[in-house]
Structure 1
């Protein structure tokens, strides 16, 4: 019989407790990004896949858990959710989704990529200016949440049965 022990990294900082105005401001940023995505008509499943991908790249376990469940609730299949980690090799994302995921990778890895023209131009071929602004807002927001969560170990994913 195998026993498993759950390891929980120590919380470094209760950012909600010590900087509540800051986390409220980040929440307001997230709300504004969602409102822009609503206004631009960005489909919920794509939003969740982008947030999932950014969270994977940033190593944010809490957000990977959250956005994988959100994507499923938005109607995304397990196959597509699991394949976000390897989206360039997966053949079941549309050209539009691939452009959004490439933008996600490039913006999330900003210091490495500086978002090259090729990535931006491909996204521009599939999204109008309002949509691109909404995608960028979503990416800035999720990357901010990822940075806070990873740096502080402030939030925990819960094991779901």
Structure 2
């Protein structure tokens, strides 16, 4: 599984954003962006109805954003995870979640599903993720986790392609 964007994709990203060659997709196509936000709202409600707690949802958002290398989404969802009660210790080891015992079986299943959703070409990872998920999650929970991963993947692409900045909240 990838841990971030390749060097080639990062080359000149900052320069391209600074000299105005990037289009802010959310600003350029607000109707489409509002539809994506509405989808995210529906997915958030679906996750809550399925019984997924806010910490688990934010772990999925963060893991997908780590894989995709989306700085803007990492910033937003790190703060959201902390507000939901997540610890800095677990956030620090999230990229290596398989190598720790800090995550519950439900969280581990959700993270495996999130990774498989983010890299759908890896059919073996999908099979392993589903097998792990079936042990601890019901169909509603599996569906909700996958929808959370699908949605954050979409937001990652909007933010990466628009080169949304990470702003210093201390200022």
TM-score calculated relative to the size of structure 1: 0.89
After TM superposition, give the deviation of residue 156 of structure 1 in Å. 1.6
The runs of 5 or more residues in structure 1 that have no matched partner are 1-7
Structure 1 residue aligned with 2:6:
none
The reply to whether residue 157 of structure 1 matches residue 153 of structure 2 is no
Equivalenced residue count is 154
Which residue, 124, 132, 146 being the options, matches 2:134? Answer: 124
Superposed CA RMSD in Å reads 1.7
User: Distance between the aligned counterparts of 1:95 and 1:133, measured in 2?
Assistant: 17
User: What is the DSSP-based 3-state SS (H/G/I as helix, E as strand, rest coil) of the residue aligned with 1:111?
Assistant: coil
User: Distance between the aligned counterparts of 1:106 and 1:150, measured in 2?
Assistant: 20
Greater CA drift, 112-121 or 125-134: 112-121
Structure 1 residue aligned with 2:106:
96
Which residue, 30, 38, 45 being the options, matches 1:35? Answer: 45
Greater CA drift, 115-124 or 79-88: 115-124
TM-score calculated relative to the size of structure 2: 0.84
Native 8 Å contact 2:117 2:126 kept in 1: no
Which residue, 75, 83, 88 being the options, matches 2:85? Answer: 75
Distance 1:106 1:15, change over 3 A: same
Greater CA drift, 108-117 or 78-87: 108-117
User: What is the DSSP-based 3-state SS (H/G/I as helix, E as strand, rest coil) of the residue aligned with 1:13?
Assistant: coil
User: Distance between the aligned counterparts of 2:125 and 2:49, measured in 1?
Assistant: 24
User: What is the DSSP-based 3-state SS (H/G/I as helix, E as strand, rest coil) of the residue aligned with 1:116?
Assistant: helix
After TM superposition, give the deviation of residue 118 of structure 1 in Å. 2.1
